């Protein structure tokens, strides 16, 4: 349900509402790393740079606790965040590992 809501909210451009919702749901259910992944993914895709720090942290947590497929996707989004922040060396590090 949350994944569908996240996708729909993102497509409708309700980025802040979506990110706040994902944070709230994760605080209630911290055993689901998919919520961290969704938060990181949509925060970075939204281009709201004030969320990039927490998004990178969330995705780094995903890399430590998830299956390989999701770890690779998390690595990609971290690289994308650093690229958008113009930190090319860090972006290259994450893209290279991807």
pTM, two decimals, is 0.91
Q: Which residues contact 61 (CB under 8 A, 6 or more apart)?
A: 33, 36
b/e map 51-85, b = 16+ CB within 10 Å? bbeebbebbeebbeebeeebbebbbbbbbbbbbee
Dig out the tokens for 53 from the structure.
Answer: 């720090």
pLDDT tens digits, residue range 28-83?
989 888 999 999 999 999 999 999 999 999 999 999 987 788 999 999 999 999 99
Number of domains in the chain: 1
Domain residues for 14?
2-97
CATH number of the domain enclosing 60: 1.25.40.10
pLDDT tens digits, residue range 8-20?
999 999 999 999 9
């Amino acid at each position: 349900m949350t994944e569908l809501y996240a996708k729909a909210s993102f497509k409708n451009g309700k980025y802040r509402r979506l990110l706040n919702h994902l944070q709230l749901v994760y605080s209630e259910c911290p055993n689901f790393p998919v919520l961290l992944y969704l938060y990181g993914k949509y925060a970075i895709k939204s281009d709201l740079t004030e969320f990039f720090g927490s998004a990178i942290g969330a995705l780094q947590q995903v890399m430590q606790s998830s299956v390989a497929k999701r770890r690779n996707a998390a690595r990609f989004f971290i690289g994308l965040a650093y690229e958008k922040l113009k930190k090319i060396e860090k972006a290259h590090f994450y893209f290279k590992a991807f």
